[in-house]
Structure 1
Amino acid sequence: MNFVQPIRDPECIFYIKRFLKEQSERNYMLFVTGINSGLRISDILELRVRDAKRPYFNLIEKKTKKKKRIDMTPALQKELKAYIEGKEDHEYLFKSQGINKPISRVDGL
């Protein structure tokens, strides 16, 4: 089994965020959500707009099936507030084009 280490270098995170922000708001928000919450991509893709309106995420992890509550950082709350503006509560945060289904894991990576 392969183990993945988190990115710990603040300078590296800064440059990744800057690059992603220039390329794609969606990919930028996926990255920001991941590094600020510690959630797996499979759990991030299941989030809906209504989930981003609270200061925490309540979810059942896909991999472990455990209930989890993740408090959002103030920085993530601020970013998500701007990102969800004009979106409906029932929509996925990171939805496919044209339909209300989450993007696939491949699209999210």
Structure 2
Amino acid sequence: MNFVQPICDPECIFYIKRFLKKQNMKNYMLFVTSINSGLRISDILQLRVRDAKRPYFNLIEKKTKKKKRIDMTPENKKDV
């Protein structure tokens, strides 16, 4: 099994965000949402534009089938 290390360097995160914002807004939003919420990509892909109209979103985790409420961070609100 391969192990993945998290990106912990704030400067590295800044450069990734800047690159993604220039290239593709969809991928940028996926990245920002994932690092701010800690959700798996399979859970993030379930989200729709209508979910961003509230200050939080509810979802059912795909892996565990648990209901989860995620509050949007100020950064997510600003980007949306």
TM-score, with normalisation over the residues of structure 2? 0.90
Amino acid of the structure 1 residue aligned with 2:32: V
2: CA distance between counterparts of 1:3 and 1:65? Answer: 24
Q: Which structure ranks higher in relative contact order (CA pairs < 8 Å, sequence separation ≥ 6)?
A: 1
- The number of equivalent residue pairs is 80
Query: Gaps spanning 5+ residues in structure 2: where?
Result: none
The answer as to 2:55 corresponding to 1:77 is no
Partner of 1:33: 33
CA RMSD in angstroms, aligned pairs only: 1.3
Percent same amino acid at aligned positions?
A: 85
3-state DSSP of counterpart to 1:39: coil
Show CA shifts across 1:28-71 (max 9, x none): 11111111111111011110111111111211000110111111
TM-score, with normalisation over the residues of structure 1? 0.68
1: CA distance between counterparts of 2:3 and 2:71? Answer: 25
Query: Gaps spanning 5+ residues in structure 1: where?
Result: 81-109
Partner of 1:19: 19
